[in-house]
């Protein structure tokens, strides 16, 4: 499956020595990282094509107790090497991924404590990563991190696309502002979600996308977040210096480590072309190769589900009344009266199975199938949900048989409501139940404050839990799509059964409050850098009052743009999130969702600017069809595309799903026009996306 061509080569010439230390360059020579120890402190800086990306910035860690790993260092030795391999992801945007970098490993010693620490840099053509490594040693075995102090000094007041720092939610709209404006805009930025844990008036989350006045795109994030706390960035807005700010545990500590170990990678992606930010594989490449020998059971998934009826339609996950006056564990469901608004029932689920089978979907998600939802916000959180007992109106045996008979699978749902102890206690039995009935994927969720109380969604302890859930699932050949879990950092390379995460503001917010029209032009630059998102696109009814008279929401997108998201928001797991009744009204447009693949051999980003537009083209896995998608913000977008990615000499037919000339995301979102056109590699297509609009194109060879 994974035939890697690995050519580790030792560079004979070594690195170049400068006043600061040593310079290590990317294979193409454009990215340069300068590292050294100055006055006892590790210092690095970075340039792209001679332009400053990171000004001299210090590195180090503060430990609990009276010592730290901040200063008093001397540079003992350095090792330089080159690495070049091409690997094949189990699923992905492209069939092959090249992992080519030059590496500098710096061995540091802190003579006053007799401790050793290494810092490893990998320099790619599109950026660099570095991490701290703590080799086995006598004077540093178990240690507690008080704070990591990795600095990223910016060379100006860049424009940034950011969300507020928060230990428990990422479900924010992005704000575009200068770095100097973050403090002033923080209150507004937070109001797009009820923040649970604000830690600083200038704290932001990663992945953070920036643009400099001299045309560089810079992105800060992390890769391979394992057994460590998730990193935020705190900005010194006077000097424009970001510094790492880790998520604390319930005691306020930021990490419990045992040497030998290492931190996650801190990543700095850079280019003078926004499209390179989107096609970069730097974060995947900094993760370890696939940990599983057999990956044949991991399959991309296109699904529908019993979901939007609750999220947008006001129906219930629960079977009976919402807040029981009896303790949930003593509630006898067979004796309680249903409230009649429970879509996870036999008849309705069969309807979705029929719809999925008719239109070629792989799976049907059913939320609200299991007992416990009466109390899911946590009055008796430790007892809620066993992930095994269906409600009386959900016949798990019959429904899985029925699905199987139609060539469809049901998708499992585990809402943990943040009660980790409860989830881990039931996990093995819950996965066994899935195996028994033939489920092979689970959407899990972590809504609400964590139990154990005081732990945060992005702390080390929870990060270990999310990975535990994924690895245990693999033992049962189960794929995981975790909502509200920590933002991805490329771990899907190592554990490809992690086929999705939410971990950002998804389509559900369109029904609660609406997302900014620019949202989907930012997410691929930020959230998607670490891995795919279960964004749940495909909403065709934008006026939420028509879905639920009590709704305050509006879907801030045209219908054509909803189609485009299947291409622009890369994911091997894609939902068609609206309800069958709505799709039945727009079957001509729905055809695109039926056709669009969820796995690809090739991907090209044709046009892109964060906050404004993204146009992507992708080639179907194992096929000759291409799909193009454009998402735009308030101002719309005029595309001028040359289809030179097509096979020269081949003739194709393009089906273009475009905004009608009078379409507008607010006033006329359902106005679209479908047209057909013969195209080839020389065809130039000029297309217009309406405000908050977009377009989608399927291109199939004419034989
Ligand atoms: C929030 C998730 O994002 C949503 O998809 C899910 O339906 C609810 N939690 C309930 O688990
Ligand atoms: Ca969510």
For ligand 1, atom 3, the nearest C-alpha belongs to 483
Task: Give pLDDT, residue 67.
Answer: 87
Full-model pTM: 0.96
Atom of ligand 1 nearest to the CA of 311: 7
Ligand nearest to the CA of residue 505, numbered in listed order: 2
User: Residue 12's pLDDT is what?
Assistant: 35
Question: For residue 11, what pLDDT is reported?
Answer: 40
Q: How far is the CA of 503 from the centre of ligand 2 (A)?
A: 7
Cα(310) to ligand 1 centroid in Å equals 10
Range 330-359 average pLDDT: 93
- Range scoring the smallest mean pLDDT among 9-13, 160-164, 340-344: 9-13
CA dist list (Å): 605 to 131, 210, 560, 628, 691 = 30, 18, 19, 10, 21
Q: How far, in Å, from the CA of 445 to the mean position of ligand 1?
A: 6
pLDDT of residue 335: 83
pLDDT mean over 481-488:
98
Q: Which residue has the tokens 């609990």?
A: 64
Residue in this structure with the two tokens 């020998």, named with its chain if needed? 293
Predicted pLDDT at 7: 37
Q: With CA atoms as reference, report the closest residue to 555 among 604, 591, 594, 516.
A: 516
Q: Is the pLDDT of residue 613 over 90?
A: yes
Q: Which pLDDT score is estimated for 285?
A: 98
Question: Which stretch of DSSP H or E encloses residue 183?
Answer: helix 182-190
Atom index in ligand 1 nearest the CA of residue 445 equals 11
pLDDT at 541 over 60: yes
Q: Is 347 a catalytic residue?
A: no
Q: Is 99 exposed, middle or buried (0-12, 13-18, 19+ CB in 10 A)?
A: buried
Instruction: Provide the Cα torsion 146, 150, 154, 155; round to 10°.
Output: 130
Mutate to test the pocket of ligand 1, among 311, 373, 482, 504 (most ligand atoms within 8 A of CB): 311
Which of 415, 506, 509 best tests ligand 1's pocket when mutated (most atoms within 8 Å of CB)?
415
Statement: residue 325 has pLDDT above 90: no
Instruction: Give pLDDT, residue 13.
Output: 39
What pLDDT, on the 0 to 100 scale, is given for residue 162? 98
Name the active-site residue from 22, 176, 484, 508: 508
Look up tokens 């189960």; give the residue. 478
Instruction: Looking at the CA of 457, name the nearest ligand.
Output: 2
Determine the longest span between alpha carbons in the chain, in angstroms: 79
Strands (E), 2-73: 5-6, 9-10, 16-17, 22-25, 31-38, 41-48, 51-58, 61-63, 68-69
Q: How far apart are CA 660 and CA 563, in angstroms?
A: 14
Distance CA 182, CA 160 (A): 9
Mean pLDDT of the chain, nearest integer = 94
CA of 59 to the centre of ligand 1 (A): 39
Nearest ligand, CA 343: 1
Separate counts of helices (H) and strands (E) for the chain: 14, 40
Query: Which of 304, 310, 343, 367 should be mutated for ligand 1, with most atoms under 8 A from CB?
Result: 367
| Closest-lying ligand 1 atom to the alpha carbon of residue 310 | 7
Region 46-75 average pLDDT: 96
The whole-angstrom separation of Cα 20 and Cα 409 is: 59
Atom of ligand 1 nearest to the CA of 502: 3
pLDDT (mean) for 138-162: 98
> What are the residues whose beta carbon lies below 5 Å from ligand 2 (ion)?
483, 502
Query: Which residue has a Cα nearest atom 10 of ligand 1?
Result: 415
Nearest-angstrom CA–CA distance, 553 and 545: 8
Cα of 378 from ligand 1 centre, angstroms: 15
Least distant ligand from the CA of 481: 1
Residue 196 and residue 321: Cα distance in Å, rounded?
A: 28
What average pLDDT does this structure show over 146-167? 97
Q: Which ligand is located closest to the Cα atom of residue 445?
A: 1
**Residue 9 pLDDT grade (very low, low, confident, very high; cuts 50, 70, 90):** very low
Nearest to 690 by CA among 634, 636, 611, 644: 636
Q: Could you tell me which of 60, 116, 464, 78 has the C-alpha nearest to residue 259?
A: 116
Residues 6+ apart with CB under 8 A from 102: 11, 24, 25, 26, 27, 80, 81, 82, 83, 122, 123
pLDDT above 70: residue 143:
yes
pLDDT > 80? residue 20: no
pLDDT band at 371 (very low <50, low <70, confident <90, very high): very high
What is the spatial distance between Cα 558 and Cα 422, in angstroms, rounded to a whole number? 42
pLDDT at residue 324, as a whole number = 57
- Using the Cα atoms of residue 523, residue 525, residue 528 and residue 530 in order, give the sign of their dihedral: negative
DSSP letters, 204-242, are EESSEEEE-TTS-EEEEEEE---SSPPEEEEEETTTTEE
Would you say residue 197 has pLDDT above 90?
Answer: no
Spatial distance between the Cα atoms of 267 and 654, rounded to a whole number of angstroms? 39
Regarding predicted confidence, which is higher, 582 or 4? 582
Atom 6, ligand 1: which residue's CA is nearest? 445
- Strand order of the β-sheet with 241-246 is 16-17, 22-25, 31-38, 41-48, 51-58, 151-153, 241-246, 231-236, 203-205
Specify the ligand 1 atom closest to the Cα of 506: 3
Residue 120's DSSP bridge partners are 105, 131
> What is the whole-number distance in angstroms between the Cα of residue 498 and the centre of ligand 2?
17
Who wins on pLDDT, 198 or 231? Answer: 231
Ligand 1 pocket: which of 171, 316, 369, 445 to mutate (most atoms within 8 A of CB): 445
The full DSSP string for 453-465 is TT--TTSHHHHHH
Residue 162 CA, ligand 1 centroid: distance in Å? 23
Give the Å distance between the CA of 194 and the centre of ligand 2: 13
pLDDT attached to residue 14 = 42
Residue 307 Cα: closest atom of ligand 1: 7
> Does position 149 have pLDDT exceeding 90, yes or no?
yes
Residue 102 has pLDDT above 90, yes or no: yes
What are 495-533's pLDDT values in tens digits? 999 999 999 999 999 998 899 999 999 999 999 999 999
Q: What is the mean pLDDT of residues 463-474?
A: 98
Mean pLDDT of 398-421: 97
Protein residue with least CA distance to atom 11, ligand 1 = 415
- Ligand 1: residues within 6 Å at CB? 307, 311, 367, 415, 445, 447, 483, 502, 508
How far apart are the CA of 590 and the centre of ligand 1, in A? 24
Closest atom of ligand 1 to CA, residue 484: 3
Instruction: Report whether pLDDT(1) > 60.
Output: no
């Amino acid at each position: 499956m994974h035939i890697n061509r690995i050519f580790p080569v030792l560079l004979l010439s070594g690195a170049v020595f400068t006043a600061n230390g040593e310079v290590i360059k990317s294979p193409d020579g454009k990215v340069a990282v300068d590292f050294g120890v100055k006055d006892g402190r590790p210092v690095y800086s970075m340039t792209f094509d001679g332009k400053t990306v990171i000004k001299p910035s210090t590195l180090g860690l503060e430990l609990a107790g009276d010592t730290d790993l901040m200063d008093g260092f001397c540079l003992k030795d350095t090792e330089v090497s080159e690495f070049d391999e091409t690997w094949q992801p189990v699923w992905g945007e492209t069939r092959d991924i090249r992992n080519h970098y030059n590496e500098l490993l710096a061995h540091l010693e802190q003579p006053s404590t007799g401790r050793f620490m290494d810092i490893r840099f990998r320099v790619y053509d599109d950026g660099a990563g570095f991490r701290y490594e703590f080799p086995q040693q006598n004077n540093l075995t178990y240690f507690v991190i008080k704070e990591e102090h990795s600095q990223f000094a910016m060379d100006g007041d860049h424009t940034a696309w950011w969300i507020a720092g928060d230990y428990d939610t990422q479900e924010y709209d992005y704000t575009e502002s200068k770095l100097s404006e973050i403090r002033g805009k923080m209150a507004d930025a937070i109001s797009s979600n009820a923040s649970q844990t604000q830690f600083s008036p200038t704290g932001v989350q990663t992945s953070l996308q920036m643009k400099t006045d001299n045309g560089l795109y810079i992105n800060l994030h992390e890769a391979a977040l394992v057994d460590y706390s998730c990193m935020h960035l705190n900005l010194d807005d006077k000097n424009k210096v970001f510094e790492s700010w880790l998520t604390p545990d319930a005691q306020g500590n930021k990490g419990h480590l045992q040497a030998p170990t290492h931190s996650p990678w801190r990543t700095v992606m850079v280019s003078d072309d926004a499209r390179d930010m989107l096609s970069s594989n730097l974060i995947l490449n900094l993760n370890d190769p696939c940990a599983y020998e057999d990956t044949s059971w991991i399959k991309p998934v296109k699904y529908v589900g019993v979901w939007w009826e609750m999220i947008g339609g006001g129906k219930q996950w629960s079977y009976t009344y919402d807040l029981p006056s009896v303790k949930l564990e003593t509630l006898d469901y067979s004796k309680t009266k249903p409230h009649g608004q429970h879509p996870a029932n036999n008849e309705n689920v069969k309807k979705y199975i029929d719809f999925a089978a008719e239109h070629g979907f792989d799976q049907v998600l059913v939320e609200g199938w299991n007992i416990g939802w009466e109390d899911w916000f946590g009055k008796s959180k430790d007892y809620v949900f066993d992930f095994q007992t269906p409600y009386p109106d959900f016949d798990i045996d019959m429904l899985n048989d029925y699905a199987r008979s139609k060539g469809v699978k049901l998708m499992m749902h585990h809402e943990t409501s943040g009660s980790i102890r409860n989830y881990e206690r039931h996990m093995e039995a819950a996965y066994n139940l899935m195996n028994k009935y033939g489920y092979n994927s689970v959407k899990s969720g972590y809504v609400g404050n964590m139990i154990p109380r005081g732990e945060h969604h992005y702390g080390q302890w929870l990060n270990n839990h999310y990975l535990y859930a994924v690895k245990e699932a693999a033992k049962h050949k189960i794929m995981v799509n975790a909502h509200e879990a920590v933002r991805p950092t490329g771990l899907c390379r190592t554990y490809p059964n992690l086929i999705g995460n939410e971990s950002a503001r998804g389509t559900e917010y369109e029904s609660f409050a609406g997302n900014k029209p620019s949202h989907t032009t930012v997410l691929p630059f930020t959230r998607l850098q670490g891995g795919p998102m279960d964004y749940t696109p495909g909403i065709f009814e934008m006026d939420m009052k028509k879905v639920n008279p009590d709704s305050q929401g509006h879907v801030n997108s045209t219908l054509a743009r909803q189609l485009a998201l299947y291409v622009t928001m890369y994911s091997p797991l894609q939902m068609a999130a609206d309800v069958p009744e709505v799709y039945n009204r727009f079957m001509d447009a729905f055809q695109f969702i039926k056709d669009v693949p969820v796995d690809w051999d090739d991907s090209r980003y044709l046009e892109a600017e964060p906050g404004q537009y993204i146009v992507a083209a992708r080639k179907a896995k194992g096929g000759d069809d291409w799909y193009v998608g454009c998402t735009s913000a308030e101002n719309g977008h005029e595309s001028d595309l040359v289809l030179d990615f097509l096979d020269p000499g081949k003739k194709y037919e393009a089906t273009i799903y475009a905004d009608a000339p009078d379409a507008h995301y607010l006033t006329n979102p359902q106005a679209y026009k479908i047209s057909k056109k013969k195209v080839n590699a020389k065809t130039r297509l000029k297309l217009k996306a309406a405000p908050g609009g977009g377009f989608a194109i399927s291109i199939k060879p004419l034989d």
